[in-house]
Amino acid sequence: MRLLLTGFILLSVWPAMGQTFNRRFDFNGQGRAQSALGIEKSLGSYLIVQLTSETDTIEPGLYFTHPSVGITRIDGSTGDKLLDRSFNPPWHGAGAGWANGSDSLPGGGVVVGGSKQDTLQNLSALLMVFDAQGDTVFTRDISPPGSQWNSFSVKHTLDGGFIVVGQTDLTGYLDGFAIKTDALGNVEWRRTYGQPAPRTDALLSVLELSNSDLIMGGAKYPTDLSQQRWVQRTDPQGVVIWEVLWPTIDPGASAQLSLLTNGEILMASNWSYAADFEQQRFQLARMEPENGTVIWDRQYGEAGSFQALFAAKEAPNGDLIACGVSEVPIGFHGVLLRTTSTGDSLWMRKYVYQDDVI
């Protein structure tokens, strides 16, 4: 079975322009491979959601190493680490969704949408709620047994519940899915979306409108060598109202969504001009929520190897700020792009981290 996998690397600033701090965080001092997958404001500081790993002793000389969800609180001014917490179910690995897989909660806590995996490599969708100290409030396995469920993104909904999106093979091929729960993680409804076999689909982003309709973003693969950015609107029960597709030549990024203050939708992604990830440009598009009409669609930077935007937000003055990754000119760099509200580029910076160890 082939799941849709996209690497995510979080890098810091190069050259050092406009930085408040530039820090590296080693979860519990383990010195192991770790990935930051999300960051949320919390009581004047920040909670970082990450993928880490831990080793449990089964008996002397026998160990179980598994991925875990790590929660790290840092000071918002200095970047100083304030606490580390971790979670995984017994005899399972657990991880947060890589595509905006967390959301802030009242009181400073955080909800994480992700997956857990047993020792037979079975994946199930996992909803995790942590308080402001990173301690576990509750977790829920929200997918049925007998199939694979890989969660990528979560949002706290207006009714106090949660909406999780991702990818599943429930139908016998790979589809996008959405699961709606109440405030305690009890499933209210579950739906799959996509094309007939053998095509691959996935949902990696979700928003809620003021009337509780949902906007979902992801990718469809009409063929093995082509990809469509995919945005759809559903009613509060997950029934599709409209969908918009952007066909492109090469598999690349998916549609990552955010909601602007005027209710419009901002999509961050990339655009491919050739196969094998060799000719890609950064992409932003602004859409009407009523019917999916594209207001504007812009591309940025020179075409090059693997360039994609993974998240975008609206600044207080209405400017747009997006972050992503680039292999131009050589090696992976973090990217920040700032534009006007109409998509005109103001500046773009590339970043890399190094210290005495890395």
Task: Kindly list the structural domains of the chain, giving each domain's residue range(s) and its CATH number in brackets, ordered by start.
Answer: 27-208 (2.115.10.20)
The predicted pLDDT at position 357 comes to: 73
Cα separation, 309 vs 76, in Å, equals 24
Question: Taking the CA atoms of the chain, what radius of gyration do you get in angstroms?
Answer: 20
Cα separation, 353 vs 358, in Å, equals 8
The predicted pLDDT at position 136 comes to: 95
The predicted pLDDT at position 277 comes to: 63
The predicted pLDDT at position 58 comes to: 76
Cα separation, 121 vs 57, in Å, equals 20
Q: What is the pLDDT along the chain (358 residues), one digit of tens a residue?
A: 333 333 333 333 334 445 677 778 877 676 666 788 889 999 999 999 988 877 777 788 887 788 889 999 999 889 999 999 989 888 888 999 987 899 999 999 999 999 999 888 899 999 999 999 999 999 999 999 999 999 999 999 999 999 999 999 998 889 999 999 999 999 999 999 987 766 789 999 999 999 999 999 999 887 666 678 899 999 999 999 999 988 766 666 789 999 999 999 999 999 887 766 678 899 999 999 999 999 999 999 988 888 899 999 999 999 999 999 998 777 788 999 999 999 999 999 998 877 777 6
The predicted pLDDT at position 19 comes to: 63
Where do we find the tokens 């990818």? 167
The predicted pLDDT at position 276 comes to: 64
The predicted pLDDT at position 138 comes to: 96
DSSP states along 49-117: EEEEEEEEEEETTEEEEEEEEEEEEE-TTT--EEEEEEE--TT-EEEE-TTT-EEE-TTS-EEEEEEEE
Distances (CA, A) of 268 to 9, 43, 133, 279: 16, 28, 32, 17
Enumerate the β-bridge partners of residue 350: 335
What length is written for the chain?
Answer: 358
Where do we find the tokens 């597709």? 245
The predicted pLDDT at position 299 comes to: 95
The predicted pLDDT at position 207 comes to: 96
